[in-house]
Structures are given as structure tokens and as C-alpha cells.
Amino acid sequence: MSDDRLISSEFANDDSAAEHALRPKTLKEFIGQQRVCDQIDVLLTAARQRNSAADHILLSGPPGLGKTTLALILASEMQTPIRITSGPAITHAGDLAAILSSLVEGEILFLDEIHRLPRPAEELLYLAMEDFRVDVMVGKGPGATSIPLELPPFTLVGATTRAGMLPAPLRDRFGFTAHLDYYEPIELESIVMRSAKQLGISIDADSARELSRRSRGTPRIANRLLRRSRDYAQVHHDGDLNLARTQAALELYEVDDLGLDRLDRAVLIALIDKFGGGPVGLSTLALAVGEEPETVDTVCEPFLVREGFITRTPRGRVATPAAWTALGRKLPKLPNQLPLED
């Protein structure tokens, strides 16, 4: 059920072609994350003036905020080729050594989900980032020998949704770390208007504002909601989007005014109606909604905690007054609770 969530910030199969077409090509076109863009602009400009490869960059932040887009912009701004891979795709240190040894001078290596890199590959990367060389082991047993391979200067751009999982030696080797934050509604509104123009969608300001308000601060979700709203308007109307059609489309796809979808509401309803608001353990809560504990923990809870609907305590998850209000429930009065004084 969670794999098909319309408001999941994870990459979906139908996002590939659409996101590629909508991605900005330069830092000036990139909307939002202004401080990060300014910092990267200084770093790249200095590297171009020195005619050298830029320092290694770590992009950190939740899914869907533009880490891959920024990596592609880096290559475009530096006018260098980019090699794209990911941590899970590298199963052995030899895989990474093969990629590194084929890089050309100044090339950018984009390593997505770098926190999932195997430990032997991490060890290899330390030397490559610092000294631009790798030691390749040839043979096995007592006859094994180490062959040093010199690498041309390159720029490693790592992307991670969990910076805390990166080992300190790897994290410290990045010359610059960019922390991407959730977007403001006004920024998402601009992104929706830009995407609509590129997709040839007629949309008014009220519709763009409504989509941005329900997008959880994430451009990927905003663009996905825009495409689904376009589909609705195309099937049921003339294809143009106004506020009423946008709201009808979002109601059809079960995305409410607060950005909650069916799974989010199921978690809150179970927490409040079945367990009296908590505290309740993660496994029990997941069982009540028919999901795996990992799904509730990684897919639902980050947004619910960030928006103040639930809190995590040593005894389990607890619904906040905001959650009771969001579901239209009356907050029960605690025993021996004194009335609040003015």
C-alpha cells in the first residue's frame, strides 16, 4: 500500500521522465535553497578561476528536495561530464575502483545514497578523495600484491538522506556539506507555476497555491500532485486547472488540506481511536494499520512528527492535541487535570 502513495517523497517509476524534463539546468533557475545555492556558486566560481576540480561536496537532506538536480547543475556549471551511481549499486570495492580509474580530469562522480556504501568501498574512497589514488589488491593469500593507481583530480558529490549514518572519516573528507531544508509554500508555488509552464498546463494562482500547501514542503510531491491534477482536469474537463478542479483531484487521490493521505490518517486514527492517543509501541501501531513497522517509522512518522501530530517517547508514540483536532476528535480531559489559568 505504501509503495503507491501519491505524496511519498521517494522516487517513483513514473517520475523519471517527468522530473528530467522539469529539472532546472543552472543555479539561477533553481528555486529555493538560496543560501545553499549561494555557497555552491562561490565554491564553483573559485574552482573555475583556479582552473581546477571543485572540492568534494556532500548534499544532505530528506528525499525529493533536489539533491540529484543540484549534482547535475554542478556538472553543467563546471562544464564537465558527470558519472552517476549509488551506494547500493556498488557491492564490492572493485566496483568502485573500476569507476574511479575510468574518470577523466575534472569529472564529477555523483554517489547517491552514499550512506549505504559497503565498508570496503568506504575504505577505498578515503584514499581516493584525499590523495587521488587507489590501491588495488591483485591475487590472494601470501602472494597478493598491492598496485597503486593514480587518479586524475575529480569531484565527488555525495547525496544522503541520513547524514548521521556516514562514518566520521568519510564525512570529514568532504570540503563542503550542504543541508537542504523543506521548502516554504511560496517557493513551492513558484515551482508549480514553472512546472506547469513547461508541461503546457493552464493553471491559475489559486490552484498553484493549493498544490503547494498540500505538498509537505517537497518539490517532488508538488510536481507529482500537479501531474495528477492535470490528468483529472483532462479526463473530466477541458484540461485547464482552477481551484475547484484542483481540490476535486486532490480529494479523489485522498490528499487532505493538511497534506495527509490515507496511510497517515490510518496511523492517527489507530493511535487515537484504538489506543486512546497512546503511548503505544511502533510494532503494535504498525500491526493496527496493517503495515510493516519500518514503513510506519520511515514513511509516515517523519512528516507526522515534523508537523506536530505525534511525538516519540520512551514508552511509545503519543498523539498530540493537534492530531485530535485534525481528526475532529475531542481531546479527553486527563484525570486530576487542573483548569488552565489565564
In angstroms, rounded to a whole number, what is the distance separating the alpha carbons of residues 220 and 218?
6
Residue 172 CB burial class (10 angstroms; 0-12, 13-18, ≥19): exposed
**CA-closest candidate to residue 292, choices 267, 265, 275:** 267
In angstroms, rounded to a whole number, what is the distance separating the alpha carbons of residues 160 and 201?
33
The number of residues making up the chain comes to: 342
In degrees, rounded to 5, the angle at the alpha carbon of residue 160 between the alpha carbons of residues 158 and 165 is 110
- Which sequence positions are flagged as catalytic? 67-68, 112, 161, 220
Q: Do 239 and 21 contact (CB within 8 A), yes or no?
A: no
In angstroms, rounded to a whole number, what is the distance separating the alpha carbons of residues 213 and 181?
16
**Which amino acid does the sequence have at 222?**
A
In angstroms, rounded to a whole number, what is the distance separating the alpha carbons of residues 297 and 279?
15
In angstroms, rounded to a whole number, what is the distance separating the alpha carbons of residues 309 and 307?
6
**CA-closest candidate to residue 78, choices 61, 102, 62, 57:** 57
Q: Do 215 and 243 contact (CB within 8 A), yes or no?
A: no
Q: DSSP assignment of 119-134, as one string?
A: HHHHHHHHHHHHHSEE
Strand-strand pairing, 133-138 and 316-319:
unpaired
